[in-house]
Structure 1
Amino acid sequence: MAVVLANKHEKEAVEMRAALCETLMQLAEIREDIVYLDADLFGSSGMKKFAKAYPDRAFDVGIAEANMIGVAAGMSATGKTPFVHSFGPFATRRCFDQLFLSVAYGRNTVNVIGSDPGITALYNGGTHMPFEDVGIMRNIPTAIIVEPTDTTMLRSVVRDLSEKRGLHYIRLKRKTAIKVYEEGTTFTIGKGITIREGSDVTLIAAGIMVSEALAAAEQLAVEGISARVIDMFTLKPIDAELIKLAAAETGAIVTCENHSVINGLGSAVAEVLVQNTPVPMEMVGVRDEFGEVGDEAYLKERFGLTAANIVAKAKAVLARKK
């Protein structure tokens, strides 16, 4: 069961990429099948320590992402468990055919790390800002998609995915995240987490939007509105049962995602609702746009990914509920 911290607004001291490297090194120490591949980004991914400790199991394929996926699929076919990394758009959009055919269709196992999703690409700008990566991966049969909220969750899901077969996509913010969960908390892939109870409206969020949803719930509480908050860290397979329960008990849903509202978290939740428990719903997310350069605060405002936007959508959906 997830244990949520009382103070959920402070950034962690450890970067997400450092937690990733530490976890993979721990796995590699006890498992010879663990290998790591990168597309000329060992510095960016924070995996230089892994490469130094396990030089025969760390491979820099250069700026050749599609080839990297093919190599990883081949390694899987020989019994290895590959983790591969590139920036989100290059790990997904550039590699779609290889991910679909060489990995998923070929029944191989590759753990794909797509870093700096959505606005967290920051000054790398629109070319590196994936608002479509979840949509791409949702179209691949049997793929699992997770977006860890903090380092506690990241460590847990990396260990769990290392034991599973198939194509797995980890949507990873490289640098510091807001701390939400206590150390030692475990998570179940495919199951969302209710991290705040509420009866009037449910806020379903993932990634950096979890802390925004929690802040929005606090603002709504001041106005007498009780908002439930769900961390839907597994984007595929989506936790349909938890969504249906929230819809039945609160009667209104707002999704919150650092991604396009097209074929992301909002679409996945809407698919469940319309087929099972139709209720008023609003989406907070990117509105069919390309990314741009900026810092995180500016980009959150620019694309409407703030607690204030969530509050506004919650009030809008409650008006429709009445």
Structure 2
Amino acid sequence: MADTQTLPGGRTRGMGEIVDVAGKVTEIAPFGNTLAELARERPEIVGLTADMGRYSDILPFRDAHPTRFFNVGMAEQNLIMTAAGLSKTGKIAYCTTYSVFITRRAYDFVALACAHSKANVKIFAGMPGLVNGYGATHQATEDLNMMRGIADLTIIDPCDATELKQVVRAVADIPGTVYVRNLRGKVPVELGPDYRFEVGKAKALRPGRDVGIISTGYMTARALDAAKAAQDKGIDAGVLHVGTIKPFDAAGVLEFAARFDRVIVAENHKTSGGLASLMVEALYEAGIVKPMIKIGLADSFFECGSQEYLESKYDVDLPRFVRAIVDGQ
């Protein structure tokens, strides 16, 4: 397998840094830098990590507010319990580690110590899905499915640096526990300056005429690129970004889907239990039957490799989007 981690100019991509940044405007560590700024305004904010400060981009917060930063070591259950405890003292606890460690190792603690207790804990879970090239032990490809099962939990899957920065600020005022799929490293700026994140609201980014794409996370950026490529082939695709998985904007999704004869649903997650399942549920409950193509991951474990290699092998890359739009396959 070719070394596709080496970028133009000899720079090596940082762990968990998403692909497709070449030629695009990017921001470095939008999560950590925004959190550091917000914490200057909100003295009740604290930051925690489970020995993943570098790979979650929380270090700008640590450097700006060292007395409000806690590294609990490689102990994700301790991370969540400490965050929950701090929230009981009036703090807003932002905590970071890999998505897979939060969901598989600390699930019970998120459910009971945080969500059940309505703790003011904001979990920024890094490297979801195939962003992580370290194989099944590190790839959270089922995290949305798992976290959807927890009551009173908000789930957010940002598209880009623009939305992520807004989410960092917004979650401070969202009651209770929030789970965010974090983006790190050089994060592309895909959304326009007029974009405004609203919890629980899907956003139409491109009107379209022939086919509608409903997507979440950085797959929305992939959808926008594919829509532009398909336009050269005479197909006009609309794009709806679902930034909030829970609460799910069923009304907004159905209104968008009703405008098209067929829809495509795309996510950096298994096609069971995530956005595609939410879409099927919404259509069924509304009594709507509509052709739908799912772009996502199979119910499987995935091997190690660069993100480009994995996305190509498991058929969730840009060419897959274009085929779905143009050929309906």
What's the TM-score once normalised by structure 1's chain length? 0.90
Distance 1:197 1:45, change over 3 A: same
- Preserved contact between residue 26 and residue 161 of structure 2 (Cα < 8 Å): no
Q: What do residues 247-273 of structure 1 show as CA deviations (whole Å, max 9, x unaligned)?
A: 211132111111111101111111111
Find the aligned partners of 1:89 and 1:282 in 2 and give their Cα distance: 27
1:209 and 1:305 in contact (8 A); partners too: no
Asked if the contact 1:146–1:233 (Cα under 8 Å) also holds between the matched residues in 2, the reply is yes
Please state how far the C-alpha of 1:80 moved relative to its aligned partner: 0.6
The size of the alignment, in residue pairs, is 308
Shift of 1:140: 0.7
1:301 maps to what in 2?
312
Q: For 1:142 and 1:251, how far apart are their aligned partners in 2?
A: 35
The 5 A counterparts of 1:224-263 are: 224-263=234-273
CA distance in structure 2 between the aligned counterparts of 1:49 and 1:258, rounded to whole angstroms: 27
The corresponding residue for 1:56 is: 67
Q: Which has the higher helix share?
A: 1
- Give % identity: 34
C-alpha contact (below 8 Å) 1:152/1:184 kept by paired residues:
no
SS in 2 for 1:250: coil
My pick for the range that moved more, 182-191 or 84-93, is 182-191
Residue 87 (structure 1) aligned to one of 86, 98, 110: 98
Gaps of 5+ in 1: 1-7
2: CA distance, partners of 1:199 / 1:76:
47
1:40 alignment partner in structure 2 = 51
| Counterpart pick for 1:65 among 57, 73, 76 | 76
Task: Identify if the C-alpha distance between structure 1 residues 225 and 48 changes in structure 2 by more than 3 Å, giving closer, same or farther.
Answer: closer
Counterpart of 2:158 in structure 1 is 148
1:106 aligns with 2:143: no
From the superposition, tell whether residues 11 and 126 of structure 1 become closer, same or farther in structure 2 (CA, over 3 Å): farther
RMSD after superposition:
1.9
Shift in CA distance, 33/303, structure 1 to aligned 2, threshold 3 Å = same
Shift in Å, 1:315: 5.1
Query: Partners of 2:98 and 2:75 in 1: how far apart?
Result: 12
User: What is the CA-CA distance between 1:210 and the residue it aligns to?
Assistant: 1.3
Q: TM-score, normalised by structure 2?
A: 0.88
* In 2: Cα distance, 1:133 partner to 1:282 partner: 21
Alignment partner, residue 27 of structure 2: 14
Taking a change above 3 Å as real, the CA distance of residues 273 and 316 of structure 1, as seen in their structure-2 partners, is: farther
Distance 2:126 2:135 in 1: 14
Deviations 1:118-169 (A, max 9, x none): 11112x3321111011111111112111111111111111111111111111
Map residues 166-205 of structure 1 onto 2, 5 A cutoff.
166-183=176-193, 185-205=195-215
CA distance in 2, matches of 1:10, 1:177: 12
Distance in 2 (alpha carbons) for counterparts of 1:181 and 1:171: 17
| Deviation of 1:246 (Å) | 1.8
Structure 1 residue matching 2:192: 3-state secondary structure = coil
Equivalent residue letter for 1:65: E
SS in 2 for 1:285: strand
The match for 2:229 is 219
User: CA–CA distance in 1 between the matches of 2:262 and 2:218?
Assistant: 22
